Amino acid sequence: MSAAMDAREAGRRVDAVLDRLAATGDRQACEAAEELVRVLMDFYGAGLARIVERLGAGPVSRMLGDDLVASLLALHDLHPEDVDARIARALATLREPVEPLGFDTATGVLRLRPAATGGCGCGGDDAVRRAAEDALAGIAPEVTAVEMEPAPPQPALLQIGRSPHAPARVP
């Protein structure tokens, strides 16, 4: 696995391998593979926890800008920021501004709506939702789904100017 691989791609690859095993119909092989993944996750998580503990908060905080490091820390519940801070950090990277409406920790659903900033609205809610999911995938794995709410209604634009029926002023 290259250093450039992100957490979402790694998850897809693991799922694909497990799906291929499931397709063979060998239940014992599937259970063994899933157990192997859990054991390796526990092993690497314990190693990362020890590294974080020995490095201390300062050096760890300086590494949070690295997406791979941040996603590994979040995946193993070692990220020094809470989930709300990580969600805010991920959403700040989006081209289209969004407004978080709430995160349900029980279901993993994050509700968003386009911000009322007069952005270009390029691509629609589906593209914004996918961009948010991509941004959140590594840094906030607690978010399992993103739901978009409609944008808030924009106030009516009042045009100030001369009425076409008003007489012209002559100096």
Q: Tens of pLDDT along 37-79?
A: 999 999 999 999 999 999 988 888 888 888 788 888 988 989 9
Whole-number pLDDT of residue 45: 93
Q: pTM surpassing 0.85?
A: no
Whole-number pLDDT of residue 5: 58
Reading the block at residue 155, the tokens are 């106030």
Whole-number pLDDT of residue 2: 44
Whole-number pLDDT of residue 123: 53
| Contact yes or no for 18/30 (Cβ under 8 A) | yes
> Per residue in 41-61, is it b (16+ CB within 10 Å) or e — as a string?
eeeebeebeeebeeeeeeebe
Whole-number pLDDT of residue 99: 92
Whole-number pLDDT of residue 38: 92
Low-confidence ranges of the chain (pLDDT < 50): 1-4, 119, 121
